[in-house]
Chains A and B, each alone.
Chain A
Amino acid sequence: MNQFLRALSGSQQVAALFLLVFGVLSLASAALLLVSLRERDDGTFKAAFGSDLTDLRRLLRHTWVMAAMFWLTWVLGGWFAISLFGLVAFFALREFITLSPTHRGDHRSLILAFFVVLPVQFWMAGGRHFDLFTVFIPVYVFLALPLVGALADDPHRFLERNAKMQWGIMVCVYGTSHIPALVRLEIPGYADKSAFLVFFLVLVVQTCMLVQHLAARKLKRPPRAPHISQSFNWSSWGMGMAAGGLMGGLLAGITPFKPGQALAMALIACAAGTAGHLVMKALKRDRGITNWGTEGQSITGASGLLDRVDALCFAAPIFFHSVRWFFRL
């Protein structure tokens, strides 16, 4: 089996991987369907597992959408992937700005963010202009935005307003732009397999988040920062990290790394991912909301896209720079 897999070309390996992912997803969906059929003739079952089932169904639906998106990205490749993630960043930023009300004086800055910064950032990812790509937002845009704001002649809560927009851009544009940028990395001897890096990153971070979530439920330790998150504590975090790292080590075969290196990379990604989740939670608490989208109930129709990408927003840039630094690209 292993021999057979090694004999395949890079793109055949990626195809096999997607086949596996969609196979597992189909099995999960089928199992869930069977369970929900059984649920109907037993009222107590529904009372006991009803909300868990809804949660699970939602999780599975999101996983399907995400997997399909990654598959499309890989099949159509190149600029299509860039545009797709550009659109995700656009919708995420739209949601962020909707839920963190801006002032009238911010109008020009917002135009700059949506119609100049976002396209330029993704264009640079597509064109592999990585030197400017990494500093464009945190250096140039962060200096330019307050200038545009100052020219709008509105001193009311100036610093706060700028911080809001800069955070929105940092998370939604800078963070997400590093996912398709990973695919554009040219690692020697790993030419058409960069899609694996995205898969590696997503799977490792999701494993860490999931294990951490389950562990926090089981362990019931006092939360580390109860005003931010009711579930985050160091023990469940450690377990999540261990699971993520282990997953990374096991997946070493699909990455350009040796097992030890893959483990280290996975740990870096997981640490960044959980940090991202926690920070985004703090941002939500500041806004007084529990979720970015309250599942169709919000007045504005925000759909919770930000909840889906919060861990990746932090993990992707740090993982990207670690890979670049490691291969001296």
Chain B
Amino acid sequence: MTDTHTCMTAKDFTSNQEPKWCPGCGDFMVLQQLKNAMAELCLKTEEVVVVSGIGCSSRLPYYINTYGVHGIHGRAMAMASGLKAARPDLSVWVGTGDGDALSIGGNHYIHTVRRNLDLNVVLFNNEIYGLTKGQYSPTSKVGLRTVTSPNGVVDHPINTIALTLGAGGTFVARVMDRDGKMMKEIFKRAHNHKGTSIVEIYQNCPIFNDGAFGPFSDKERKDDTTLYLEQGQPLVFGANGSKGIRLDGFKPTVIDLEASGVSKDDLWIHDENDLIKANILSRFFDDPNSTGEFLPRPFGIFYVEDRFTYEAALDAQIDKAQEKGEGTLEELLAGNSTWTIN
């Protein structure tokens, strides 16, 4: 694992299939950083399986030179769960989108997260249905006008991070598609985490929802709208770190560090192992375009918990049952109670 001389390179993880994503699609960055992370993790191409559902993002397996299965709509998590339960030795990655994971596959999403199989889920969220040409998705903002919401979306959007924490997630992170370095590091952390890792990626769809995340990526606005989470560090944002978040009881408040004279040491210190704080952070979900009180949108690792994995627990039960040896075919056929006729 640490012997870099025998490690494969990102190029080794490049398949012979040409990605058929639109020019400017945020998916390209995810693909590149996945390959970089896999190479840096010194994974072998034969021990990795990339599983996906349906949608633009779910074409991911075709473009990585590992094992891969492109499944059916919404069911990637279920397929990956069966694969991992049967083959705990493999490194299993799931590529899925906001529609695939959170709408048609919502049930599988919740249950996969709570079971905590050691899967690495890359959730491409572009707040739109791309492959089916521009219908709104379960994460689309209220009011978004699309082909199926000509008068504006009236569905309340899913807050992925809050949903994942609510389902019992043990590794919960969010990253912007253009933050390649951060993405790669989070992928590596996700791989090393034993349990289901959920990495939500805000991924721009240049065709059907261009600029959906502009408020968090535009140079002139991002300082005031985004909050980067670093373990053990105070929650600071704004130009030159001029603002911070302080926790008054359970209420997060924005502090103007210069005007108030509050020290950074008195701010909320990020602790990725604190579930209560992670839950509060997950509620930093204000619309940056609305007027009124606004908390910046967090990026980075919200929460990490060390909890047993499903497959390890299942294997432990099997090991215990086989303490005195594995059952033979003869024993299986005979069962517990037999009689003999001569």
Bound pair (A, B):
no
Binding site for A on B (CB under 8 A): none
